[in-house]
Amino acid sequence: MSPRKTLATTHRVLRQLGHDRRTLALLFVVPPMLLTIIKYAFQSEPSKFNQLGPMLLGIFPMVMMYLVASIATLRERTNGTLERLMTMPAGKLDFILGYAAAFSLVALVQATISAVVILGLLRVTVMSGALSVILGALASAFLGTSLGLFTSAFATSEFQAIQFMPTFIFPQLLVCGLFVARDHMVRFLQLLADVFPLTYSVDAMKQIALYADWSTTLTRDFVIVLAYALLALLLGSLTIRRRQ
């Protein structure tokens, strides 16, 4: 692994996105747009939106980055570029980490825009402040990127990769505490929620919204989300084989 080659990969992925303005626009515009819709959907219950808004900001970046990352790496696996790269003197980690860094940078912009919109325009109050919101959204995006890089290895077509979203992401979404509070769910769903990473991303946002102080629970949430993300990146690099 070499920092120069990792950075070259990051630069290359960003250049690709730079030539694809529409994808960039979608990444930056869609989360604020969805948040705005939900705000007005809950117009009669503003306190509900104040609670839901931050939680959703723990979810949208993950879902969007998951899709972008899994399709990007799937294309790389199917169009021969990965085949070519694997015969070159470059490490698998140069490839994986380069991708992760590129998408994290995009996610930083996305998180900042979303935070400005949700706190400024949509007037949601969070106790922990704007910086924590950005960090939470960023962690969510990083998790999505890593899971996307990993699970795309099991897809042999774009159709499958897209279907992996309802397969891998929706179950996490259903039990993460957004629809039903976790302690109100049956035991086995609680257990599922306990092992799903999205639960902790959403919980982190909840903590950020409710408490001004950085609690140990919040630290735990961040550590778990990052641990899952790093694990997915590691597993992702294992799915890239030099020799098939």
Binding site for other proteins (CB under 8 A): 2, 4-5, 8-9, 11-12, 15-16, 19-20, 79-81, 83-90, 94, 242-244
Nearest of 56, 69, 105 to residue 204 by alpha carbon: 56
6 or 110, CB closer to other proteins?
6
Find the shortest distance in angstroms from Cβ 146 to other proteins: 22
Find the shortest distance in angstroms from Cβ 99 to other proteins: 13
169 or 240, CB closer to other proteins?
240
Distance from the Cα of residue 78 to its chain's centroid: 23
4 or 184, CB closer to other proteins?
4
**Four-residue CA torsion sign, 104, 19, 21, 72:** negative
Find the shortest distance in angstroms from Cβ 93 to other proteins: 13
Find the shortest distance in angstroms from Cβ 19 to other proteins: 5
84 or 187, CB closer to other proteins?
84
Exposure string over 37-75, b if 16+ CB within 10 A, otherwise e: eebeebeeeeeebbebbbbbbbbbbbbbbbbbbbbbbbe
Gap between the Cα atoms of 226 and 222, Å rounded: 6
Find the shortest distance in angstroms from Cβ 97 to other proteins: 13
Burial of 204 (0-12, 13-18, 19+ CB in 10 A): buried
Gap between the Cα atoms of 31 and 110, Å rounded: 8
Find the shortest distance in angstroms from Cβ 237 to other proteins: 16
Gap between the Cα atoms of 240 and 244, Å rounded: 9
18 or 166, CB closer to other proteins?
18
Distance from the Cα of residue 157 to its chain's centroid: 22
Gap between the Cα atoms of 164 and 22, Å rounded: 23
11 or 220, CB closer to other proteins?
11
Gap between the Cα atoms of 133 and 124, Å rounded: 11
187 or 242, CB closer to other proteins?
242
Find the shortest distance in angstroms from Cβ 89 to other proteins: 4
Query: Using alpha carbons only, how large is the chain's radius of gyration in Å?
Result: 18
